[in-house]
Chain A
């Protein structure tokens, strides 16, 4: 920009602040929070005259790197194990990004501070950037990676697939319900401030270790915008804290947002980083180590805890519980095992863990082999079709799990599963906090207080319900996870592209029907349900059936 200093320029554009004189703007989005007008400063101090050239320059670097990667034959060195998981990740992430853009006007409507609106508007533009730059990265992978299947139909797949539906919480949660719960607490205070560290910093490092330096190029460029968004959330949070009446809602929303982000992001990114890599150097960080550094230390201890002095009630217990889930209860390993169990309902290929992987897991997570090793050996044994079914229909001592009604990740830590009849339907939850989220938090009354603007959990949240009683071949066809020969499945439980070793719809046709655990649960008598729960809570780890001697 010209000789005007940024501070001066930023000061000048504050003269644009608008106080309505003739008509109040229509407030479409609502909140149960109350805000007093406050002279909170725009933390971004961004002026568009410098912003647009800056972002253009960042773009030029990204696109230059992409040209270089293609000319340098990057895909001759990319690990297929890694790129396959990108079919899931890059089908999900453009929607959360564009949803973040869509959530910004919700804040204009409820946060009475014109100066903050400037920052929110710039975040809106940033998020359009992120969504389209990520769609473009996926397009580049599709064009240059050996196997385009799964990239080429990614948005159809994502919208039909249960993993995509889990991921959609990280999008719909930003744009629906109470505007502050959604666009401020869930999006900026928790998702962006805590979990983009693992999404956009830790994961790209793993990509580079697997020969993919385009993901880091794009996502570090994205992350350099995120730091500004974090400031947006902080400023709004401080405004909310200035009103005592908001504290009960802040406590509720922090508990919900923290726990849901943990359930969703740790499930997905933990799996990508631990099971999508071929880098088994002992001194590279595990996901648990990364989590401890990026989320526990950088977010919880450095960002969240200091807010206690402003009266924010921090969910210390849930932070510790999330860590317990990851470290002691093997949450990420359980999720990865489930994704592999259900490989046939996916649209990417998942190969078996090898001896080298086993050694690394055992080093990083002592006791891992005793829990998961045998199952992965079975997975490798059953990888190519040879007269047997996919692993989900074979006897490998794995009980197909029920789905959590709230976070939609299955109830994999079996001992934690709880049930409740809600809205006339028996529902399973992976954890007490997910039960609380559905049965208590997302309701029009919370702890005796009217919360008329709180959102609702809706939709066909258990994927299997839609296909209850269907043959697996018809399920896969209906979802569209089939290659262009009309019979070979997009997903495979190995990385061998020899057509003779690939599973087809004919193999699926031989399996029994898919049954919905939730439909079955609701057909049970009360006594049967109680017995079911008692048995379920004794199952595991690694999905093992309950011991018969107990």
Chain B
């Protein structure tokens, strides 16, 4: 299209307040002659709901109508989450348009060995003249039935985590202002700098390299968003611990802010937990196993064992009322949110109308694989129960509590507690 470039504006018209040829000097403007500014004008369009009647104008048309809600009424969470990640078994008639080098496309259902009913049914085979072949009986497979009971989307995600960090900041500030750290027993100071500090690494690795690393792999947007939200909480908690460690370095004379690195890298008590944490990042091509091993096995048998049954039980007798609030935030993350979505995700699979046996056997195999490693890690940590002046409950009692908790989770999932738990 010929013609001058559209961004070229003649100099004379660049500023209407300064006309050319000195005109402004001879005809000064008065305040009543202010030139009209070039701005869009409001226009009454009457384009609001209910202004006219026509097909699709009723109140019943004002809902997303392309999915079936899990309950009678669709939730806000469902509205902003369901179907955002398409599925060729539903409406994605042209199929995925980019593939990996090995031919895989989109979100393959075999990226876990778990199965939900319907997954073995073939995708519609579309071609010239077939039409869209949209699946009429939806959902086409059981994965689409999952809803995160935490109903995580941006508002819940930010409100929850912002509340946690605000509360933590206030707690730590209050402790600082009241000189509460000076009440700590000296051995407890070393325990916190070394061992509470070491725990930050576990949360960080799980957050980034287990939960975030798998949020590309789940079969639906609900799964992947739940994993992303779980990841965000883990990474936040790791940073909470790191910044708490920084505060203590500033507030307590002699507090070694780098001792956690030494503990993490070389203390014998931590190497079992470290090896297990790293093993969780190495689960091959199975997001289901990674989530299961982390949230069903590792967290109750190692995570809660350390956080609840050691740190939170030991702190008060050693003069520390602050650390339990920091640890408690992470504990609440797990017990109130991470575990909730995990049970909602995995429990239906053990009752699946097509693959219940397959899934139960698979999960039983995962328990056989991961529970011994978790118990070994837990036992490696046993000397920590003797590290502080004022001792927490006995290690064996703590471990029994963790085992009971774990057995309860297995029951919630419809699984038998593994024989290995007796170790």
Contacts and interface: CB of A to CB of B under 8 A. Distances in A.
Interface of A: 1-2, 4, 8-9, 12-13, 15-16, 18, 20-26, 28-30, 47-49, 52-53, 55-56, 59, 63, 73, 75-80, 83, 94-95, 98, 101-106, 108-109, 117-118, 121, 124-125, 128-129, 131-133, 135-136, 139, 142-149, 152-156, 159-160, 162, 165, 168-169, 172-173, 175-178, 208-211, 278-279, 281, 283-284, 286, 288-289, 292-293, 327-330, 364-368, 371, 408, 444, 452-461, 463, 465-470, 474-475, 478-480, 483-485, 488, 490, 497-499, 502, 516, 519
A162 B92 CA distance: 11
A131 to B, nearest CB: 6
Given A28-B217, A49-B168, A152-B61, 9 more contacts: A25-B213, A25-B281, A56-B158, A98-B84, A105-B214, A142-B64, A145-B47, A176-B105, A478-B134
25 contacts: A22-B278, A28-B217, A47-B239, A48-B236, A52-B164, A98-B85, A98-B224, A101-B224, A101-B228, A105-B213, A124-B228, A125-B157, A135-B80, A139-B79, A145-B48, A146-B49, A149-B55, A155-B91, A176-B96, A286-B6, A366-B4, A459-B97, A460-B126, A483-B55, A490-B56
Contact of A2 (B43, B62, B132, B247): B247
Given A121-B212, A330-B1, A497-B52, A2 B95 contact: no
Contact of A177 (B98, B232, B242): B98
Contact of B56 (A105, A147, A457, A470): A147
Contacts of A279: 40
Contacts of B281: 20, 23, 25-26
Most chain-B Cβ atoms within 10 A of its Cβ — which of A13, A52, A55, A461? A52
Contact of B154 (A59, A139, A178, A365): A59
Contacts of A452: 101
Most chain-A Cβ atoms within 10 A of its Cβ — which of B80, B94, B260? B94
Interface in B24-52: 38, 40, 42-52
Contacts of B38: 281, 283-284
B375 interface: no
Nearest to A75: B48
B284 A458 contact: no
Given A48-B165, A128-B228, A455-B99, A79 B132 contact: no
Interface residues of B, number: 125
B279 A23 contact: yes
A20 B278 CA distance: 7
A458 B102 CA distance: 12
B10 interface: no
B1 A121 contact: no
Interface stretch (B203-211, B344-352, B390-398): B203-211
A9 B129 contact: no
Contacts of A131: 80, 84
Contacts of A139: 64, 79-80
A210 B4 CA distance: 28
Contact of A103 (B207, B216, B239): B216
Given A12-B245, A26-B282, A152-B64, A105 B46 contact: no
A468 B128 contact: yes
B293 interface: no
A121 B208 contact: yes
A532 to B, nearest CB: 19
Interface string B149-170: 0000111011101101110110
B147 interface: no
Q: Nearest 5 A-B pairs (CB), nearest first?
A: A75-B48, A366-B3, A483-B55, A156-B66, A159-B91
B243 A12 contact: yes
B254 interface: no
A466 B158 contact: no
A337 to B, nearest CB: 14
A102 B204 CA distance: 19
A214 to B, nearest CB: 13
A456 B231 contact: no
A152 B126 CA distance: 26
A484 B231 contact: no
A75 B48 CA distance: 5
B221 to A, nearest CB: 6
A129 B134 contact: no
A12 B246 CA distance: 7
Nearest to B156: A132
A129 B98 contact: no
A26 B45 contact: no
Given A78-B47, A79-B43, A136-B80, A108 B213 contact: yes
Contacts of B154: 55, 59, 128-129, 132-133
Contacts of B243: 1-2, 4, 9, 12-13, 47, 49
Nearest to A73: B48
B215 A101 contact: yes
B37 to A, nearest CB: 10
A286 B224 CA distance: 40
A303 B405 CA distance: 55
Contact of B212 (A105, A148, A368, A498): A105
Nearest to B210: A25
Contacts of A2: 169, 172-173, 243, 247
